Amino acid sequence: MESADIPALPRGVRLHRDRVRDTWVLLAPERAITLDIVGHAILSEVDGARSFAEITGALAERFNAPIEQIQKDSAGFLEALRNRRFLDVVS
């Protein structure tokens, strides 16, 4: 994931509040992925407009965490979603 890359959730992939299990999930075609706090925080910033650099910058500020660590974690998480076609990336 490069700094200028713009991640976006494609049609058919959406965040959903699972009220029965009291957690956030990512709903995708024939799949439901339980999100932890970090995963939900990252995807909440993905809006199809802002770049990876802007998203991770916002997260670093919000969690008062080192940007390098945030970028590493976010890139791994988003790449895994991308490989499953749950995330589009516009370069």
- Residue numbers of the site for other proteins (CB under 8 A)? 10-13, 16, 18, 20-21, 25, 27, 29-32, 82-85
**Which CB atom, from 52 or from 70, has the smaller least distance to other proteins?**
52
CB of 64 to other proteins, least distance (A): 33
Tokens of 42: 């990252």
CA-to-CA separations, 66 to 73, 78, 79, in angstroms, rounded: 11, 18, 20
Tokens of 23: 């957690």
d(CA 16, CA 31): 12
CB of 49 to other proteins, least distance (A): 19
**Which CB atom, from 24 or from 59, has the smaller least distance to other proteins?**
24
Residues in the chain: 91
**Which CB atom, from 29 or from 66, has the smaller least distance to other proteins?**
29
Residue 62 DSSP SS3:
helix
CB of 18 to other proteins, least distance (A): 7
